[in-house]
Chain A
Amino acid sequence: MQPCGILNRKYAQDMAIVRTKLQWGLWIAFLIVLFLLPVFVSPSWLMFLNQTMITVITVMGLQLLVGFCGQLSLMQSVTMAVGAYASTIIARTFGFPFWLAVPCGTLAAGVIGLIAGAPSLRVKGYYLALATLAAHYIIVFVIAHSPMEITGATIGLEVPAASFGSFVFQNDQSWYYLILAITLISGLFAKNLARGKIGRAFVAIRDNDLTAEAVGINIFSYKVLAFFICSLFAGLAGSLQAYYIGFIDTSQFTLWNAIWYLGMIVVGGGGSILGVIFGVAVWRLLEQGALLAGPVLTPILGGAIFPLLNAVFGLVIIAFLLFEPRGLVHRWELFKASYRLWPYSY
């Protein structure tokens, strides 16, 4: 909804993401804050921010698949694993540099996504979720039982240091700027994809696939495209995470993570790129809170901190599904509408 008195006189105005002077001001202030953040926050929080942004990238991909196209997927974390392993193996065996290995890993994950999207030709709904569940177990099995010198089997692989020319990304600050730039670019990409022709086709398929087909949308190719794009995001996030942490093994990419990513979409709200950021932020803050509360709670609970966190996540998802199925982004829209109309009620 537009503020009162703001009218679109040109098509360019209608299409703009940032519309008013106030929005421009807020955006620029926000970006300045983001760029200055590493100066003020402690190293542990910088690490938190980096991992949060990596999660934002992968959940944005999942949002395009689940929130926009309506296809269920439980394999997002294993697709990240494919990206991470592919870029690491390429870098280790063929000596590809960082800036070439990451796109290769991304593309490898995308190809796996294309293959995993193939069952959507025949099944939908729960059955598709089960197909991706099977794919999760099978890919983890393949990684863990491949020869030791290729995938490191169950032990894992060391990832070479990320460098760009002679510049080596070694501290959290340089990583912060790199991941921030990638997150902003992929966010813009996702946003524009979602509101363009492809995104609208996705929404049409989600809302009613028969109608979508009747208006000339090739359902199968768009579904597979959604899987492909989703997996590209996952592969990018996985490759970045591999290089950022410097070590990969299968225990970083569990089924829990895949479920958590879906939970973030529920909390943030389906069908919105902004919702992804809300969802991931809430989730990661809860996680960080549990980490900070860990030393206090350990004497009471014993080793049950991680299970307790799972219980809390479960309750959060249940509460959102029952009381605010449209997620936090819907609350945010309501808030924006109310302050634009203030002091009138409508």
Chain B
Amino acid sequence: MVTSEILISGIVGGVLTGGLYGLLAISFILIYKSSGVLNFAQGEMAMVGAYIIFFTLAQLHVPVVLGLVLGIVLAGLFGWVLHETALRPLIGQPVFSMMMITVAFSLFFRGITPVIWGTAILPAPELVPLTTLSIGTVRFSLVGLVSFGCACLAATGFTIFFKFTRRGLLMRTVCEDHQLAEATGISVRRILDQVWILSAIVAMVGGVLVSQTTGVGDTAANLALKALPVALLVGLESIPGALLGGVIIGVSEILASLYLDAFTCGGMMETFPYIVMLLVLIIRPYGLFGLKRIERV
């Protein structure tokens, strides 16, 4: 029987995990919105980000602040290289090629990281202390709170950035139509480069936060596969919506595992987001906040 205490702490945990999903979903949405590419390697970008931080802090032994700055620079460089070498040459190719190249990159990064750093899960350099806080009877981890804070920060930050800054306006123009943007004198290539850099950095932050609790390994990549349903639920368009979607998925998977696991012998936590995803695709493919595109299917 599910008591109210278990229920409340489950919901709080779900909200906090949902923040993490939201953060990863934002990094999906940034790229999809501007370039029309659904990047299946986003989770691997998060994973590589966690490895980069591990590399700078635990292997190079640089001070924490310098290590983080270096990590952000490397992650940005990583996003830029990915866009320039792989996605840019494929412009004008069918969706299948675009999808396969991101899938191929996810295969490659999942394959190459164990070759470089070994197959074992590495202990993450501690950035956030692993303490548990409690309000009344509800207990939650500090890492969860910090990641939820990061997600809120990213959501509000990007919303303000897209609404009120010149660069944000340029990016929104590029989202609208590449050729029109090019015709008004915007360098689409440079804007897309910047979007990929931003997205890689957001993914890295997500990956590092995941690695705080689970260690540096492929868990971040697997978690990002669960951020796909989140991105789809909000329609691959809206950035503040991504946070809400993350919370919805985070809470609903906890509820599903609390109430439905008894009937299915467990495993509902992993599968429920995909059930939601399939339902969204069948009932409302443009998601909760997405633009309804008028097109023939």
**A interface, CB within 8 angstroms of B:** 66, 70, 72, 118-127, 129-131, 133-135, 137-138, 141, 144-145, 153, 209-210, 213, 259, 262-263, 266, 270, 301-304, 307-315, 317-318, 321-322, 325
Contacts and interface: CB of A to CB of B under 8 A. Distances in A.
Given A122-B297, A210-B296, A321 B100 contact: yes
Given A66-B96, A317-B101, A318-B101, A134 B277 contact: yes
Interface of B: 38, 86, 89-90, 93-97, 99-101, 103-115, 118-119, 228-229, 232, 264-267, 270-271, 274-275, 277-278, 281-282, 285, 296-297
18 contacts: A66-B96, A70-B94, A126-B95, A127-B281, A130-B38, A134-B274, A134-B275, A134-B278, A145-B266, A209-B297, A263-B104, A308-B111, A311-B107, A311-B108, A313-B104, A314-B107, A317-B101, A317-B104
B36 to A, nearest CB: 9
A213 B90 CA distance: 28
B111 A322 contact: no
Contacts, number: 146
A18 B251 CA distance: 61
Contact of B108 (A118, A145, A315): A315
B39 to A, nearest CB: 10
B110 A310 contact: yes
A141 B267 contact: yes
A303 B115 CA distance: 9
Given A119-B281, A127-B281, A309-B111, 19 more contacts: A121-B297, A122-B281, A123-B281, A124-B297, A129-B38, A130-B38, A133-B277, A134-B229, A138-B271, A145-B267, A262-B103, A302-B119, A303-B119, A307-B115, A311-B108, A317-B104, A321-B90, A321-B104, A325-B93
A314 B108 contact: yes
Given A133-B228, A303-B119, A144 B267 contact: yes
Q: Which of B96, B97, B118, B277 has the most CB of A within 10 A?
A: B96
B278 A131 contact: yes
B99 A129 contact: yes
B100 A301 contact: no
Given A307-B114, A310-B111, A311-B111, A72 B99 contact: yes
Contact of B285 (A127, A129, A313): A127
B282 A266 contact: no
B281 to A, nearest CB: 5
Given A130-B281, A137-B274, A302 B86 contact: no
Nearest to B112: A311
Contacts of B296: 209-210, 213
B90 A259 contact: no
Contacts of A145: 264-267
Nearest to A255: B225
A266 B98 CA distance: 12
A141 B270 contact: yes
B289 to A, nearest CB: 16
A310 B115 CA distance: 11
Contacts of B114: 303-304, 307
Nearest to A125: B95
Nearest to B117: A304
A310 B285 contact: no
A263 B100 contact: yes
A137 B272 CA distance: 10
A129 B90 CA distance: 19
A304 B118 contact: yes
- Rank and list the top 6 A-B pairs by shortest CB-CB distance, nearest first: A311-B111, A314-B108, A310-B111, A314-B107, A317-B104, A134-B278
B101 A321 contact: yes
B288 to A, nearest CB: 15
B115 A311 contact: yes
A120 B118 CA distance: 41
A294 B111 CA distance: 15
Given A312-B111, A314-B104, A270 B96 contact: yes
Nearest to B265: A145
Nearest to A297: B115
A123 B86 contact: no
A137 B107 contact: no
B297 to A, nearest CB: 5
